[in-house]
Structure 1
Amino acid sequence: MEIERTGSAGPARNTFADRIGFARLTAMAFGGADLRPLRDEIVSKIANGTASAGEGLDLSLIAQLLGEKQAGLAMQAEVLAYHQLFRSPCSVAKPKLRVLALAAAMDMGGNTPIEFLLEHSGIELLTLYVVAGVELPAPLPDHDVAIVIASDSEECRDALRKIERAAPRWPRPLLNPPHLVAHLDRDKLHRLLHGIERLDIPATTCVSRAQMSDLALLDGSVEDIAADFQFPLIVRPRGSHAGTGLAKIDDRPALGRYLAERPEQEFFVSRFVDYASEDGLFRKYRIAFVDGRPYACHMAIADRWDIWYLNAGMAFSESKRLEEANFMRTFDHGFAARHQRALAALADRVGLDYFTVDCAENKRGELLIFEADNTAVVHNMDSPDLFPYKAPQMHAVFEAFAAMLYRRGRDGRERAA
């Protein structure tokens, strides 16, 4: 593919390629748009040698959105082998701030979806993919603030190490430093948060397939994995995302059946917590932390423990939406006030400038943490007709994020002066 030089972020080697980007393409797919004509248009450009690197990266994302993950990742690898710097659409012609996002070569869910946070902010976003075999550019692309958007996953470790080595000499403020991102992995997070008053986080242990097989065949005990473990257990393949392979295992025969269906060699195992409310429904919350302050993002209500917003049927239940609206409206003096100390301690120990948690309340009224990460999708794509209360809340999150970037950029310029 021939790279079309579309812009510059400073020296010639820091030329960026413009792209449609994650937010716009994902919103199109979420809204039901047919992405195949756009895919075919880009494929045609590739065939006649006029496609830009940005279009190649967009094609990779389109393929993933169409369910062709492996093909999309192959396209991404081909593009990133020779071009790593990309510019996302900006809502103003002359932005007053430029952010450099440091990404890893991952699937579409493996980096912070920062475009959603900045889409209407007037902030220019450059994304630099940190890939194997390619050193960070010297000098770096011109920017006011940098932020690590690579995740804690195994596939991102090389990129995080490369950024970490360069961090002491970084010319501008560097947010979400890689050594803190690495603490979010499931088997590390519970140790990081252990002992926080009124916070419950089940211990998570990485267990080999051989250990799991022994347990299923009566050759091992649950206590051999962890002292406080007993059936039922929550099991998921290590490195999985979005609930892939997640299961509640009630006994040894169920574990054997689970292993028969899974090819993975390592699994995360934790104790099951029954967090159903008195009405028998489960309530799961997503909270974003911006510069230490918590913001409500969504509340999912379902009759099943393994809740995601999309499987909770929120769009089909007015009563659920009314409860979510009330959760958002009263968050600061309700949920956040009720768990003020636990949330503050959590933010302090995680230490990241921006991250999210998925959580609930256990039967003792404590804050129950399922996971914390820096890559959960925080967006404003839901129908304003069905969810009129969401846009104001999402705008509050986006404005807080932009304000943090402006503040850090200003502080960085003052220190440089």
Structure 2
Amino acid sequence: MHPDFYEPLAVAEPECADRIGMARLAKLAFDGGDLRPMWRDLIARLIDGTADAGEGLDLSLIAQLLGDKQTGLAIQQDVLKSQRLFRSPCVAKQPRLRVLALAAATDMGSNTPIEFLLEQSGIDLMILYVIPEFELPVPLPDHDVAIVIASDSEDCRAALDQIDRAAVRWPRPLLNIPRQVCNLDRDKLYRLLADIEGLVIPATIAVARGQLQEVSRSAGVLAGIATELAFPIVVRPRGSHAGVGLAKIDDGAALERYLSERQEQEFFISRFVDYSDEDGLFRKYRVVFVDGRAYACHMAIAERWDIWYLNAGMTASASKRLEEETFMHTFDIGFARRHQTVLAALVERVGLEYFMIDCAETADGSLLIFEADNTAVVHNMDPPSVFPYKSPQMHKIFDAFAAMLERRARCGRERAA
């Protein structure tokens, strides 16, 4: 049957559990606030049975923000047995749009942190957790536009599959469809982008622990895995993000030490690319794509190759911040123009309405891609006294995201008319 003839899924007014949510709790933690009093209050309410589902999910998030991921996920699992639809705070009494975000029951870093994007938008945000033990609700909560916020990680695959099976009958526009989210997996991403001229993305190869143990004993085994591989290599556990387990390995002895400290059974390896500039510093960029357009998100500068914004010393360096500010202010006529053709091809291949890349520029001017995903944090939490240029740039992204949702919702209504 042609997809146009599928009967759309029914919708009805939603019954949501209200919560404090990610944006407010993460901001409190980011600013150095003490979450423990809130934790103690909510855990007492949970134990005596007076906590509602929204408070339970907030408690799960607080546990993770305090570093207790295992407890947080256990609380989340228990809460989701009875309630799977939640509403985030909205600044407008009469929201201009209703958005349904489709999440997986995973840790706080494996769903798009969409609350940061919509916190001040006046848009009503509902988050529906899709879990294998339960079918999607019938009818669905009514909404104007839906977006998949589950990531490509292994623990999200069941949720993505469940959403994908329903996608053809989805009653409203559905953004970031699951089959394209799955292309962000590191090994798939290489195959998707490798032949784009002006783009460098080292082959990311999945290997078992046993293969790496063989490599640690004989470097020649690397060429048998892939002809381009030789020490130094970059290793990370499969499914990891945010630099967890990431290491540059220079020789077999270093690989043996690495494996002795890791328990994972599957890894990704790739060749190491030295992207340092003439001054010896490494510069890493995060670029966000909203409906096909690229926006500067941040720039980190450090002496080390494995850069994250928080380890780059940006707060302590006025010169680094000035360079980041210049990157943001000149992005459209500088970085985006230099890589215009590459970025356009990347958008077409990835096919998602919202995603981001972490990247760098090589010595020959090519765009070096480290990763692409849909869950990196895009936020406005940095202190304006230190980063006065950031808030206007973040609001460009937030406004573009809200405008995209409104545009897609309007198109959906026009098609249905």
What's the TM-score once normalised by structure 2's chain length?
0.96
Q: Deviations over 1:187-214 (max 9, x none)?
A: 1101100111101011000000010011
Q: Deviations over 1:275-328 (max 9, x none)?
A: 000000000000000000000000000000000000000000000000000000
Aligned to 1:255: 255
Q: Map 1:146-295 to 2 at 5 A.
A: 146-218=146-218, 221-295=221-295
Aligned to 2:389: 389
TM-superposed deviation, 1:82: 1.5
The whole-number CA distance in structure 2 between the counterparts of 1:249 and 1:40 is 43
The whole-number CA distance in structure 1 between the counterparts of 2:311 and 2:143 is 40
TM-superposed deviation, 1:146: 0.2
The whole-number CA distance in structure 2 between the counterparts of 1:155 and 1:176 is 18
The whole-number CA distance in structure 2 between the counterparts of 1:47 and 1:205 is 46
TM-superposed deviation, 1:219: 7.9
The whole-number CA distance in structure 2 between the counterparts of 1:29 and 1:398 is 21
Q: Map 1:69-148 to 2 at 5 A.
A: 69-148=69-148
User: Are 1:302 and 2:302 matched, yes or no?
Assistant: yes
Aligned to 2:415: 415
Aligned residue pairs, count: 408
Which residue identity lines up with residue 89 of structure 2 in the other structure? P
Contact conserved, 2:197 with 2:342, CA < 8 A, in 1?
Answer: yes
SS at match of 1:314: coil
SS at match of 2:409: helix
Runs of 4+ in structure 1 off by over 2 angstroms are: none
TM-superposed deviation, 1:11: 4.8
User: Are 1:402 and 2:395 matched, yes or no?
Assistant: no
Distance 1:80 1:220, change over 3 A: farther
Contact conserved, 1:206 with 1:238, CA < 8 A, in 2?
Answer: yes
SS at match of 1:400: helix
The whole-number CA distance in structure 1 between the counterparts of 2:139 and 2:183 is 29
The whole-number CA distance in structure 1 between the counterparts of 2:207 and 2:346 is 26
Aligned to 1:28: 28
Contact conserved, 2:219 with 2:252, CA < 8 A, in 1?
Answer: no
Q: Deviations over 1:17-72 (max 9, x none)?
A: 00000111000000011011111111122233221100000000000000111000
Distance 1:170 1:398, change over 3 A: same
Aligned to 1:7: none
Aligned to 2:3: none
Q: Deviations over 1:131-184 (max 9, x none)?
A: 121000111100000000000001000000000000000000000000000000
The whole-number CA distance in structure 1 between the counterparts of 2:184 and 2:48 is 44
Structure 1 residue runs without a partner (length 5+): 1-9
Contact conserved, 2:219 with 2:251, CA < 8 A, in 1?
Answer: no
The whole-number CA distance in structure 1 between the counterparts of 2:48 and 2:250 is 57
Contact conserved, 1:217 with 1:252, CA < 8 A, in 2?
Answer: yes
Contact conserved, 1:187 with 1:203, CA < 8 A, in 2?
Answer: yes
Aligned to 1:366: 366
SS at match of 1:59: helix
Distance 1:39 1:330, change over 3 A: same
Aligned to 1:5: none
Which residue identity lines up with residue 153 of structure 1 in the other structure? S
Which residue identity lines up with residue 107 of structure 2 in the other structure? D
SS at match of 1:169: coil
Contact conserved, 1:57 with 1:75, CA < 8 A, in 2?
Answer: yes
The whole-number CA distance in structure 1 between the counterparts of 2:334 and 2:405 is 28
The whole-number CA distance in structure 2 between the counterparts of 1:377 and 1:322 is 22
Which residue identity lines up with residue 270 of structure 1 in the other structure? S
Aligned to 1:63: 63
SS at match of 2:17: strand
Which residue identity lines up with residue 227 of structure 2 in the other structure? A
The whole-number CA distance in structure 2 between the counterparts of 1:292 and 1:21 is 28
The whole-number CA distance in structure 2 between the counterparts of 1:242 and 1:361 is 20
TM-superposed deviation, 1:242: 1.2
SS at match of 1:301: strand
SS at match of 1:163: helix
Structure 2 residue runs without a partner (length 5+): 1-10
Which residue identity lines up with residue 367 of structure 1 in the other structure? L
Aligned to 1:3: none
Which residue identity lines up with residue 209 of structure 1 in the other structure? R
Contact conserved, 1:214 with 1:220, CA < 8 A, in 2?
Answer: no
Question: CA RMSD, aligned part only?
Answer: 1.2
Which residue identity lines up with residue 56 of structure 2 in the other structure? G
Further displaced range: 217-226 or 387-396: 217-226
Which residue identity lines up with residue 111 of structure 1 in the other structure? N
What's the TM-score once normalised by structure 1's chain length?
0.96
The whole-number CA distance in structure 2 between the counterparts of 1:74 and 1:225 is 39
The whole-number CA distance in structure 2 between the counterparts of 1:333 and 1:133 is 50
SS at match of 1:270: strand
The whole-number CA distance in structure 2 between the counterparts of 1:55 and 1:40 is 12
Q: Percent of aligned pairs with the same residue? A: 68
Q: Deviations over 1:87-125 (max 9, x none)?
A: 000010110100000000110100000000000000000
